[in-house]
Chains A and B, each alone.
Chain A
């Protein structure tokens, strides 16, 4: 079963690993002043190289070493992750410089987290899946608690860790049930044996608890209700650039792994996990939105909104189908479209929060009052991101919404469609609350403040991304439909 090792396919991962090591050495030997720009510089260079290495292999379709898939689905997530982490680094240059001395470790951890994401999204074996997710989790705990002197950061890390450890254990238990049932950890082989009934006699029912327990682990990563309790605290307490990472890349990884494991290993159990996800989707978007409505901290509001969005992303998986002829709107392409749109948008919104924290000390709703007069660029950027989150065209969020609503309509899941409709409106309600603070409320007595250069660049890139995904939806539709088609075997 072991293929020959095609090192070229692993190039993105190798580049990230080497970059992480280089960053640690730079931190050891470079002077403080040099390190300030060299560390992020090296990290970004490594990510760009990894991006190129992944992009060049677009269209490949093979499994390396029997555990890592080099297919368009994996590359798609790698590209999104690489771009988003570059944005995270740009946003963290000043933010982290002012808050911690351990910059080398911070960037190295970010790169290792990205590496873990790369491994997780391409894993085709339960062991590798676990390896990828667990590495990502452990690094995320550290990143969340990175501000040692900040109580909230510490508390967030502990909460995240406790929830995470339990969720991992439960997931692993599910995996072990699957292994016990089928005698293999290879996803494709599991599917074959489940299909053929080549499993432990009289114990076929074990597949259901296995599905549910495995889903707990994925749901934890993707912050689905009721496995979301860690998310608001972790998002709020973590350094904001880390929150950017957690709420986009880390969450996307949860979905990638969930999609791959369910679609590759358990297509025959489709009805069951789809029903499970149907319930989770409705629960997640409703609970997330209702709680977000009551928040007074913008950061925490975005945390809950990001939970609600996970519910929307899930709609794509719930309504996944394999339409003939590789037509779009197969559901999975909605997940992919949402992930890229959401990466730019949500990372952007959290970046603005970071900038406002930098400028005013905190990110309560009140700190956003009259932002248009105090930091016009930030206010305009935030407006664009919030409108995109609300799904207003021609922004990225509209493309995302179109692509997850479509399969639901195709499948005629009326209840889900109506719940999603109501949720879309509720969500717009609290986004507009922030817009109202920024634009309608006038506080002439409050001072203006400047935005750091790296942050400015990051925001511009994300604004371009948000408009780009919306207006050139055709490119992203092409990529996501292609990747999804590969995964669905079209």
Chain B
């Protein structure tokens, strides 16, 4: 057991890197071998992540909690930076999500990617290490390293295997993220000069700048810029529609499923614990940005004719719930909410935000796969070009409806719970803004049903154009989607296991930040 605890995270973290190096050594003509190696190698971290999930759930959850499987090895002693990794109730589910979506993406890509196969799988595996690293890092330098490591492969995935506008989109993606990350680096340095360490755990205990709200805010916004661009929150979202639309299918899945979560995760791992006073002070701003993202994103979706772009904008809207939940918890932290009916509301809002991170990964991941499946056949993303697919592609229709309903928050499916928790919490803290945000829920139902379902699945089938060019889902496509669909149903009917994880994380974070339950 001691061996497991010491090594499990390191193995999960570097396994994909080793796999990518292995892929690099395979001659590029042996494409099938490259595909097989990548998929099977990616199963190892997936299994380990599942074991991690169960192990943490049974041994630590409800008990000691906190950060487990910690490893700390000195790296740059002069700077107090170390290879310090660990996982807690927040990161364990996200590590699992990363492993799952990566394996599914590799499996799906193995059938779809036929061009420059070796580079593709090499980059994808490299990307996985970057994402794992962010979810595990407990040192700011390490966090930054992995944050950037993930950036480069995604730049290539969009730029090489993307659609028509791929070069513009990849460049925009990279430069936008870079602005944020350099600002973040400057803020990290400011934290270092205040405390003399880059260690996240130590910084959490020290709470630098607690009595200096001006400097705290300066540092806060340095980090905030980096994270908000990644989330992305309005008005920093403009890179997203381009990147998501132009990326290859699996790239969009990972972008929406994991990379956006890195930003939200940073709020919870860095901003809230280290700068709780600034987080509380600016909580209301996050609420406003979150609500604007929800409503604005949803209305923009209504105006889309490009199916993929629509799903992309729906991410802006859905990540707004995360911002709303986090911001509401921040407002509650100020302790100046006289009408707060129940102190649990702060934790509930945060639970909702975390649930939304996970659920959005599953649901939007599935939706991007589905859009990709249609695009592979039709080679257009224009949703007005379709119609009547429900009769011709019933299987596809069924799966799409599940994912679509989950996305609009139908009770019984996963998406419902995250929205419910966010609004249940936020309503108690920031009433009016939460009420405005709820408009987004209605509009979401609008664009899913009216824009997508009515245009693509209902109405007249264009026999002339599509004839027998469209066929229903085949084996590997079903195999890619079913795990996600099952998770949507499972979490919709019985979200308790995941809620237990996130609630324990939320309570711990809020307590540490000084919230009195």
User: Residues of A with Cβ closer than 8 Å to B?
Assistant: 327-329, 372, 387, 390-394, 398, 401-402, 405-406, 409-410, 417, 421, 424-425, 428-429, 432, 436, 439-440, 473-474, 477-478, 481
Contacts and interface: CB of A to CB of B under 8 A. Distances in A.
Chain B contact residues: helix, strand, loop or mixed: helix
Interface of B: 75-79, 119, 141, 144-145, 148-149, 151-152, 155-156, 159-160, 166-167, 170-171, 174-175, 178-179, 182-183, 185-186, 189-190, 192-193
A403 to B, nearest CB: 10
B75 A474 contact: yes
Nearest to A399: B76
A390 B175 CA distance: 11
A309 to B, nearest CB: 15
A405 B189 contact: yes
B160 to A, nearest CB: 6
Given A405-B186, A417-B186, A392 B76 contact: no
A440 B151 contact: no
Contacts of A432: 155, 171, 174-175
Contacts of B183: 421
15 contacts: A327-B78, A328-B79, A329-B79, A392-B149, A398-B145, A401-B185, A409-B193, A410-B189, A425-B175, A428-B178, A432-B155, A432-B174, A436-B171, A440-B170, A474-B76
B58 to A, nearest CB: 36
A292 to B, nearest CB: 15
B88 to A, nearest CB: 24
B147 to A, nearest CB: 9
B185 A474 contact: no
B152 A477 contact: no
A392 B174 CA distance: 11
B75 A440 contact: no
A481 B76 CA distance: 12
Contacts of A410: 189, 193
A383 B189 CA distance: 27
A101 B144 CA distance: 50
Contacts of B179: 421, 425
B78 A478 contact: yes
Nearest to A328: B78
Contacts of B148: 392-393, 398
A394 B145 contact: yes
A425 B144 contact: no
Nearest to B24: A380
A392 B166 contact: no
Contacts of B175: 425, 428-429, 432
A406 B171 contact: no
Contacts of B145: 393-394, 398
A327 B167 CA distance: 44
A406 B189 contact: yes
Nearest to A477: B78
Contacts of B190: 409
Given A406-B189, A409-B193, A417-B186, A474 B144 contact: no
B199 to A, nearest CB: 15
A406 B149 contact: no
A37 B485 CA distance: 66
A425 B160 contact: no
